[in-house]
Amino acid sequence: MADATPAPSETGKTRLPGEAMSLFFADHKQLSEQMAKCEETGEKRVDFFVALATVVGGGLATWLTQGELSAAKVALAAYALLTLVILGEVVLLRLLKRNRNTDQCKLALDDVRERILGGCGWTGGYAPFGEKRALVGTGRTWTSGGLVYIAAVMNSSLLGACVGAVSLLAWPGEDPRPAFWGASACLVLSVVGHFAWLHAKAKSPPEGNRSTGAAP
């Protein structure tokens, strides 16, 4: 029976057997593919939501400007916008899930690289994703958060438009100022609320240093 004891390297560190190295390389490949899939899936979700919101918004604008602006039209428009807001919040939550899975993949890849390099006797540092973040937050801010903040701004805009439509129903007349100020206030408050919530999420530590394998 062959001796499975790891052999010492030229640097004096223990070298891992070929079977262990093959396992680490396989894990590295799987985690890399999973991280790429998470990123791609998140981008597709945002692209779908943006396209849907553009089509619905353009259709509503065309429909509302044709003929008389009745209360029934405004009510249907508010219903459609509210549906988009709900869908947008679902997309936002899925993007947060995607970001969490991606961060976990990065941490897991760091661990695998450490084991591979340690098994080869490598003593230098190697961190392609930057410093490890196992005990700190994700580091995503409104200037670098990417898709989640785009989705948050879109949701806030849709919610503001929905509140404006409801204001037209509540205060019908020729004066558009109540609808305008109601929509503007809702937009600002929603953006501030979303950004504060996302900032708090960015400061929370990752759930673990291993990829959960959950669906992106």
DSSP state for residue 17 in the 8-state scheme:
P
What per-residue string of b and e applies to 19-43 under the rule 16 or more CB within 10 Å gives b? eeeeebeebbeebeebbebbbeebe
What's the domain count of the chain? 1
Residue 79 domain flag:
yes
Q: What is the rounded average pLDDT for all residues in the chain?
A: 75
To which residue do tokens 């929370």 refer?
204
For residue 147, give Cα distances in angstroms to 18, 28, 78, 88, 142.
41, 26, 25, 12, 10
The first and second tokens of residue 53, run together, are 């919101």
Percent of the chain with pLDDT over 70: 64
Mean per-residue pLDDT, 56-69? 86
Lowest mean pLDDT among 19-23, 35-39, 164-168: 19-23
Mean per-residue pLDDT, 78-86? 93
Percent of the chain with pLDDT over 90: 22
Q: Given a cut of 80, is residue 17 above it in pLDDT?
A: no
Residue 3 domain flag:
no
- Angstrom distance (rounded) from CA 163 to CA 182: 6
pLDDT-derived band at 100 (thresholds 50, 70, 90) equals confident
Residue 216 domain flag:
no
pLDDT-derived band at 82 (thresholds 50, 70, 90) equals very high
Residue 72 domain flag:
yes
Mean per-residue pLDDT, 190-205? 83
Higher pLDDT, 77 or 31: 77
- Angstrom distance (rounded) from CA 37 to CA 35: 5
Residue 194 domain flag:
yes
Residue 130 domain flag:
yes
DSSP state for residue 11 in the 8-state scheme:
T
Domain boundaries, position 130: 18-203
| Angle at CA of residue 84, ends 89 and 60, nearest 5° | 160
Residue 121 domain flag:
yes
pLDDT value at position 212? 42
Phi, psi dihedral angles at 14 (to 5 degrees)? -75, 130
Residue 6 domain flag:
no
- Angstrom distance (rounded) from CA 19 to CA 98: 32
